[in-house]
Amino acid sequence: MAALKDYTTICNSAPSEFLAELALRHREALAQRNLGIITDNLKLLNPIFNRHAALLAWQRPQAGSIGFPSLFGARR
């Protein structure tokens, strides 16, 4: 089984290689698009966290799209 795995996964697939290269050629446009999505989503999330500050807090994303929310209390 180990030999079969080595034989079948020794390198990336050709379509994956092509798509990765294509993405790298357009990295500026892709990065700008993704940053726009992140900015738009933060504009939606900030008011929610501000409005519900007694129940919610979060560590805003610093350099990407990952934030860390906290829930202070739970309704039963």
* C-alpha to C-alpha distance for 28 and 34, rounded to whole angstroms: 10
pLDDT at res. 31: 94
48 in Cβ contact with 56 (< 8 Å):
yes
26-48 pLDDT per residue, tens: 999 999 999 999 999 999 999 99
* C-alpha to C-alpha distance for 22 and 51, rounded to whole angstroms: 42
Q: Regarding predicted confidence, which is higher, 2 or 38? A: 38
Longest dimension (CA), the chain: 58
Domain ranges across the chain: 13-71
Q: Is the pLDDT score of 53 beyond 80?
A: yes
pLDDT at res. 74: 62
* C-alpha to C-alpha distance for 49 and 66, rounded to whole angstroms: 15
Q: Is the pLDDT score of 73 beyond 90?
A: no
pTM given for the model: 0.66
pLDDT at res. 1: 73
